[in-house]
Structure 1
């Protein structure tokens, strides 16, 4: 007689920013080949929510504090592939979601003018408030979630955008860093 098998466990991370192209996107699509485990699990940068007051520690924001994905925190001397954008531009942000969660919000933070691209990303390098904050009201987004937003005004040169997908029914969020060039 066969017995039913029951399993339980913690849900793994399930999403990352595709546009602007995130570091996870560059690692998973073959643009970069020396990314470690994140190239097979680009959706797995999940950490505690509550950013910026809580969440991953400074220096591990891009990896969501997951040691196995520390390649995402390596600034690579500012040489991550970057998406060209314009300050104040209307932009379509896109997430690839491999498992939908009840969602509080999608938020985006950008580095301050004068930030140091040779150091791992930290809170003091980011503007304190998100430049886009999409309230999702607890709904579950589709597998490809696209929404409109406006790039921050007054930026020029190379910057990092930290995308934070806040989950409504867990203590976690997904983190995704995208390198951009404001031309």
Structure 2
């Protein structure tokens, strides 16, 4: 028995619909999932997002993605301009303060090694250190020794990783007690 043209068209439409229905969840998950290898943050001294991730301070969504504090270059914002992580701006949240000497080594963990222009460190609006990577791809772990000359007591250090091939940077705030 031969099938009519109409029956063949109906079968093709049905197959297309079933295929589309089967692929739709895969496509949606692929488009909306946050990549596991997403970027980087300061792990030591413990940044605010590191404290959230390890449960030292109770936090929201940042607990699950400490590496994702990304925003446009040039900000002076612990949350990188990202409203999802606004709690990182709250200086009264009970952040653990790390006692440091006249200098400290800041350790970054990078889950995606973007080519890097510079690493910058600020206290308030004062840049206290800058390290130029000249567009090189960094290793998974990066360390910088930062001198706190001219500062004492409790300070909030803003650490910034400026990516070389995008307009974005990654931000981390670290609470320290200089000379403590």
Q: Specify the TM-score bucket, using the shorter chain as the normaliser.
A: 0.7 to 0.9
Q: Tell me how far apart the structure 2 counterparts of residues 99 and 45 of structure 1 sit (CA, whole Å).
A: 13
Q: Tell me if the contact between 1:104 and 1:166 (Cα under 8 Å) persists in the aligned partners.
A: yes
Unpaired runs of at least 5, structure 2: 1-18, 20-25
Tell me the matched-pair count: 151
Deviation at 1:155, TM superposition (A): 1.9
In the alignment, structure 1 residue 102 sits paired with structure 2 residue 115: yes
For 1:142, what is the secondary structure of its paired residue? coil
If the length of structure 1 is used for normalisation, what is the TM-score? Answer: 0.74
For 2:149, what is the secondary structure of its paired residue? coil
Aligned to 2:12: none
Root-mean-square deviation over aligned CA pairs: 2.4
If the length of structure 2 is used for normalisation, what is the TM-score? Answer: 0.75
In the alignment, structure 1 residue 163 sits paired with structure 2 residue 159: yes
Aligned to 1:121: none
Gap change, CA 1:40 and 1:138, over 3 Å in 2? same
Unpaired runs of at least 5, structure 1: 111-125
Between Structure 1 and Structure 2, which shows a larger proportion of helix residues? 2
In the alignment, structure 1 residue 148 sits paired with structure 2 residue 148: no
**The one of 58, 61, 70 aligned to 1:37:** 61
**The one of 17, 24, 28 aligned to 2:42:** 17
Q: Which has the larger radius of gyration?
A: 2
Aligned to 1:118: none
Aligned to 1:127: 125
Deviation at 1:13, TM superposition (A): 5.0
Between Structure 1 and Structure 2, which shows a larger proportion of strand residues? 2
Q: Tell me if the contact between 1:62 and 1:72 (Cα under 8 Å) persists in the aligned partners.
A: yes
